[in-house]
Structure 1
């Protein structure tokens, strides 16, 4: 196995570790990881990470790059969805200032987000194309 294979495995393991790390902190409830945020998106993330592990072990660079881009896309979608959910979570409170103050008590935990994005970026960067020598 080459360095690119090991880098792909490390990137996939970072994505899995990021999915298990806390991503949001709710004061009374506690920390939420990816699975607590949304089970469907978490299943997609873990399936792509597993596919990336298989792709890096079997030296499929195109599949590894696809998994990296798909992971970044799903992570961006999740971040936007979580942002809107946090800002609208207390919309049932009739006073706008009180609802805004209540939504500010929910905090992002950036470790999980950073691990997933760095793992996906590692997969994209180190899955470079194989350079074929041109024989004349």
Structure 2
């Protein structure tokens, strides 16, 4: 395996570990990781991580970069959805000040989000195409 494959593998590990870390603190329910936030989105992200893992092991740099971009898209979508859901979570409370106070009690835990985004950026940035050296290419006849 090349260094790019190892960095892709490191990125996948960071995404998987970040998904298991606490990402949201909900007052009564406790800390939520990616799976607790939404099982469908978590299934998609873990499947894309498995695809990236397979691409890193089999040296498919294009597939690794593609899965990295899809992971980034899913993470941005999830972060946006969680932000809007957290702001709308207590909308059933008729008193607006009480609802706003309850909304402020929901806290983001940035270590999980940070690990997932760092792993995704590592996958994208270090999964470029292999450069072909002119010294190792066969000589042209004539």
TM-score by length of 1: 0.96
Aligned twin of 1:27? 27
Aligned twin of 1:90? 90
* Per-residue deviation, residues 74-128 of structure 1 (Å, max 9, x unmatched): 0000011101110000001111111111100010000110011000100011101
Q: Alpha-carbon deviation of 1:36? A: 0.4
Structure 1 residue 65 corresponds to structure 2 residue 65: yes
The secondary structure found in structure 1 opposite 2:127 is coil
Aligned twin of 2:111? 111
Q: Alpha-carbon deviation of 1:132? A: 2.6
Q: Please list every run of 5 or more consecutive structure 1 residues that lacks an aligned counterpart in the other structure.
A: none
Structure 1 residue 47 corresponds to structure 2 residue 47: yes
Structure 1 residue 126 corresponds to structure 2 residue 108: no
The secondary structure found in structure 1 opposite 2:22 is coil
The secondary structure found in structure 1 opposite 2:131 is coil
The secondary structure found in structure 1 opposite 2:71 is helix
The secondary structure found in structure 1 opposite 2:17 is helix
Q: Alpha-carbon deviation of 1:129? A: 1.2
Aligned twin of 1:8? 8
Q: Please list every run of 5 or more consecutive structure 2 residues that lacks an aligned counterpart in the other structure.
A: none
Return the alpha-carbon distance in structure 1 between the equivalents of residues 132 and 10 of structure 2.
26
Return the alpha-carbon distance in structure 2 between the equivalents of residues 132 and 38 of structure 1.
43
TM superposition outliers: structure 1 runs of 4+ over 2 Å: 132-136
The secondary structure found in structure 2 opposite 1:131 is coil
